[in-house]
A and B are shown apart, each in its own frame.
Chain A
Amino acid sequence: MKLNERSLAFYATCDSPADNAGFLYKRGERHTAYHRRWFVLKGNMLFYFEERESREPVGVIVLEGCTVELCDSAEEFTFAIRFGGAKSRTYVLAAESQAAMESWVKSLSRASFDYMRLVVRELEKQLEEMRWGPAGGCGGCRQLPGSWKPKSSGPERSPERLLALPTVLPKENGCAVWNNEPGADQPPDTSSCGGYDSEGNPRPPPLPPRRRASSSEAGSVGVAAAESTSIFCRLHEQYGQEVARLRQDWLERQCGPRP
């Protein structure tokens, strides 16, 4: 199978930062002798070079759909990268110390694109919930304009309220504080659903198209509400505890110091 090898080699040797680099011993495919190679991990690609100064990698291992495990081997500090599938190879590597082995196993086991994507989606979800609240997105805004109105009057309070988020949360109805639009007492229009960009803030990486589409569906409101209660509850509990503590202190001061 052809690969754009020159581009691959460029990626391996260009000055984009590596996620891990160091010498490892690699066990040969046919012969079980170990060869010392210079390994460079970038993203989900594990490149290896003959020498540290080599201008081109000898090979690359694409770290998708694999597991990284410690080896029970005569050789010290060995670990393996194992792929599923009948024809797939297992790569056996050995580090030069316990610390090096642990560092490599950790960084390799989280190197896949899939893993990165999972974490990104999770954070995206959290951020959306924090910005748009339990109504689950712009679709929710349009359908329930009432719930987006701040309790207090005047749009000029919104920026301050956002800054004062931690102390204000327990007292508010919870919906208003999530709305960071300056004209908060108007139902948000579609431009605000483009989010962040319309306020002139630094552009975030755009959300994948399918998420934008789903956020305007009526059906997503119920589902999103259930999903977002967990983060809501967590924050609510956090600040609730703080309020309880403050209240306790105040009560003690009122009653006078205990004997």
Chain B
Amino acid sequence: MIHFVLLISRQGKVRLTKWYSPYSQKERTKVIRELSGVILARGPKLCNFVEWRGFKVVYKRYASLYFCMCIDQDDNELEILEIIHHYVEILDRYFGSVCELDLIFNFHKAYYILDELLIAGELQEPSKKTVARLIAAQDSLVETAKEQASSISNIIAQATK
């Protein structure tokens, strides 16, 4: 299974973290510091796997972002690379040629998309189309709720409550 997912920028800034195994806040910071040190130091034409504390970390760089996933020793590295690519494609589709800024300002959306893709550290939805559809459906749910909330009448109703 996947133990955690990290998105780290080339400068070592964390853009997204998702933990499927229990890690305390302290451990999380430590893990990220350790791994970004290892991964960012690796050159461009090396393999995408790093052995780490008895686990394997599969990472791939897209533009300025490193997508890293930590998996068990006997998981399939190539499969994880495909999952990473899959995620990137979905993000790309959703944001329309995604860039780091999209993820910075819509960090929660990146989470929601990841949640559609993976659950409990397992791949959940291999179809890009389905994920896109599901995300759109939930977005519209959120939007209608927001419109309601921000409508003038609502504000007045609140103020005069």
Say whether A and B bind each other.
no
Residues of B within 8 A of A (CB): none
Residues of A within 8 A of B (CB): none
